[in-house]
Amino acid sequence: MVSTNWLELFVNVCDAVDDALSNFKDWSERGERPDQYLLDQVADQAALAVLRGRGTGILSEESGLFSGSSGKIVIIDPVDGSTNAARRIGHYCVSLCAVDNSEPVAAMVYNLATGECFTAEKDRGSKLDGKAIYPTSCNDLGEAIIGISGNPALPIASKQYRAFGAAALDLCSVACGRLDGFIDPISGSGVWDYAAGIFICQEAGAFADEMSGNELIHFEHARRLGPIAAATSELLEELSGTQRLDS
Q: What is the CATH number of domain 141-240?
A: 3.40.190.80
Q: Residues near 175 by Cβ (< 8 Å), separated by ≥ 6?
A: 118, 126, 133, 134, 135, 197, 200, 201, 203, 204, 206
Residues of the chain within CATH 3.30.540.10 domain(s) are 6-132
Question: What is the value of pTM for the model shown?
Answer: 0.95
Per-residue tens of pLDDT for the chain, all 247 residues: 335 799 999 999 999 999 999 989 999 899 888 888 999 999 999 999 999 988 899 999 999 999 887 789 999 999 999 999 999 999 999 999 999 988 999 999 999 999 999 999 999 999 999 999 999 999 999 999 999 998 888 889 999 999 999 999 999 999 999 999 999 999 999 999 999 999 999 999 999 999 999 999 999 999 999 999 999 999 999 999 887 654 3
Which superfamily does CATH assign the domain made up of 6-132 to? Fructose-1,6-Bisphosphatase, subunit A, domain 1 (3.30.540.10)
Task: Count CB neighbours of 76 within 10 A.
Answer: 29
Angle at CA 59, nearest 5°, toward 184 and 19?
Answer: 95
Gap between the Cα atoms of 87 and 108, Å rounded: 24
Residues of the chain within CATH 3.40.190.80 domain(s) are 141-240
